[in-house]
Structure 1
Amino acid sequence: MKLSMWMIANRLTYFDLELHIKEHAPAILNSARLAYATNCVHVYQEKDYIVCNGEGDIIKLFHMELTEAFEIVQGIFDFYEDWMTALLQDLQQKDYQGAIDRAWLVFKNPMILFDGNTKVLGITQQYPADSMDQEWEYLCTYGYSSLNAIQQMRYQHSNIDFTRHGVQAFSFEKDTLLKYSGYTFCLYYKDILCGRLNLLLKDREINTGDLQLITQLALPLEYNLGQSVSDKNKNNRNVFYNLLTGHPYEQHCLETQLAYQGWSLQELFYLTLIEVQEQNRQQDFSQHLHMIAHMTEQQLQNCVILNYKSYVLILSNQDLSGNSAAMNFFAVLCRNNPIRIGFSLPCKGVESTAFLLSQAKAAIRYGATSQASEQYYHFYDYAMDYLLDTPLGHQSIHACMPAVVRLWKQERASKDDLFSTLKIYLENERSVLKTAAQMFTHRNTILYRIKKIQEILSCDLDNSYQRDYCRLSIQILNLYERSSRRR
């Protein structure tokens, strides 16, 4: 394990010492030596003190013999090596609480490890629930971040990209729910947020050595949490990511995240997809993707923002394509970045959002083929292409015109005949008389039904595309129903 002079200095605080270390002295040192060697700490006597020289960064130790000083410095290398080895064993065994308890031996401050759903995986047990602030007590008691804490972080620090990979500092005003400042490290595995590590400032100041250790600790944490993603019982990814991409998730995690957003299970939901077109260098592309995600999170604070491959996913309980502020923001993004934006249909119920990702992607795919100069694509405009390309099943049902699906479900629940009336009305080229005759129903009844149908559809049946989309949706739904009966 490579150390920096700051990491070494942090283990020497009980001795009489003097530091001459550059603020960002790198972690490149392999061991202690009594003679100079590259990337080693050269320990030698000078005047009445001992010099520990790590590639130009100096620690002076007073009132100590050379042999004793050398053994102490080399012992620090051994300590960190043993500490990291034991910590890695904790992670391999998925003993996250044990890893956090072991981390305290080095950091001597409170630390919390969260998964991608702000669930506590480990919290420093040396600090009882009532020894910190109100949020610490909540974390210790319930094992999740509180809604109030999420809101405070979101709105007091809207200028900080808490989704950016790496270490970031944060602090709070006095007399708030969160009283302790500190550092947070957002953990990613294959560009998917899988956790967060928070270090709070309580008993000692944090310096460069601590931040270097956090960075070294983050790598095995990311790998371990990322590997757990494929384990259905230990899924650490954000539940909305799993929901949208069709992966397993835990219901209580979903309900917790909905509470954070102030959403309910049965609202209408929409997905907006920003496709970021790849640049020449993969590193530049990844940074560009995260930058756009951060800008989006700042501007659309009541949405869930996620990175997915070359996309930024925006899950919302409102239609952003009809929101002037959101569309103004998208216009700025489009002018300054190589992106395309796809809008899904709405769906009722958060669990149905699993079908929206394919819709938004299809909107971009079909739209870019037929209207390459455009940057906005609505799935509604390409739904017929999608339905003709998609095998009969849940994906195709959710791609049907939403109002027609509503009529279909409503007729099966209440036998109101509105869906059947619409079907026959369109088959008879919107002739009320022919529809009435075919349904053996009075003309005035048909007129009443059509008025109710028009109120629900909210579309123009004089428009040939909307009429054809409506007719195709009816055919798909009827075919799906007949197919289901045969099973």
Structure 2
Amino acid sequence: MKLSPALLISDLKTKYSLTAPSPLSERPHLGRPLFYREDSGLVNNHIYVLSSFSEYQKLRRGASSCFFICPLTVMETEMETVEEAVSSSVNLCVIDTPDSSASVFNYLQEIFDKYDLWEETLMHISLSGGSIQSLLDASYSVLGSPLRLMGMDFSIIASSPGAEDNAGGLPTYEQPEYIEYVTALKQDTLYNAVREKDGAFIYPGHITGHRTLNVNIKRFSKTTHRLVMTEMDVPFTSSAGALLEFLATFIEHALMRNAAHRSPNDKTMHSIFLSILSDRTADYLVISRQLTSLGWLTSHEYLCIVLQTTYLDQQNLTINAICNYLENLFPYSCAFPFEEDVVVYFNLTKSECDVDDISDKIIYFIRDSFLKAGYSRSMTGHLNLRRQYIQSRSALEVGNQIHPYLWIHHFNKIALPYIYQQATKKLPGSMICHEKLLVLKKSDEEQNTEYVKTLSVYLDHHLNAVQSAKTLFIHRSTFLYRLEKIKDVLESDLEDPEELLYLMLSLRLMDQDAEQNASNEQS
């Protein structure tokens, strides 16, 4: 394995005090060390351990591709100072050591042995179809810092030893702060700016607490994964980026041959629920048997929640991260992307909790992640699972229209507005309401009466004439006079329960029409 001058000096500094030019080349072009022999001459792109400083003076011209190392013990004392010697060169390193040139030569061989063994190990893992986990494990001791491979959806594909407890720059799904980091990162301008960056780059630790050295791994010119090395006790060296890029080539190959670590989550459950939502011809008896075989029984109680994601989630592919977080927070749940949203089914029976318990656990997660949620009713059995999705989706849609400032909407709280919307899907409220009610409305407009308002108050007060008159601030006899006029127009005695229900519904539909017309005029 060829080494760069920068990497070579970085490793030498772990044992020796030395003086070297700055900056050093990052290009890996140097082969194993040699001793100079006049009969063989210089071999380009190699390291030479000198036996005297005069050798360097003799060889430095025309040897720009080589790198020279001279122990201080062989530097003639009458010669210029060490700093002057190094500053006047671009390829000389002076080591302050009592060791002989042979000892320095042997240590250089050990450095090359280490990197050659690493390269051979990576090659063997790659050719034998080994896992990405094996590649990271083999690299940890060489690079000296925790490593992680992450999907751009913030999923953790593999971690090296030492990457536990957030040492990898991002907590695992099981840690409660995981989703907080994801939310902060997806909103960070710098994080989004380096999404497609080429080569190794450093990301500051203002969010994760540790600086990280990163290499984006791309497929069809789009970043799909990121190899992350975290700066812990030892600062990054100038050569660390080149080593990480070298490792990234092997990981890219492993990803291409589909040898990446598979998620441990049970995808069978996901496919069953996706079939329920997307396949209207699905056989529910077959689905019920499949769920039962996984321990989700027909006697169990279920809840469905739909989470409305944001543009940031879609751009940063954090929808999968949200799903993984919820499945780790609730072991008896199934979360999956569906039509740009996240759908979550909870087995309340196996979880030994109710809807309120679920809400208490995720209310702040929903708010802090800038999500909105629609809750279905809790129901027993498998036959209502698709209907529960419709409930939760409807809760989200209608709730956002009525109360756009809220981030959680329960179907039970929007059921009546949902009925009004469903009733007017094909015909406006004015075409399905009580026909005689339109006559009353026209009378109010032409004669400046308040028959519609009077009827509405009367129905709201459960046909109580005294209370209705008080609410309208009119005398009881005046109210009774109006009521008789209303009955004449409606051609009704207002005693039939079904007609009363129809009138109440008609009044709400007329109000809905009025609100819609006002909204259209404003827009």
TM range (shorter): 0.3 to 0.5
TM-score, scaled relative to structure 2: 0.44
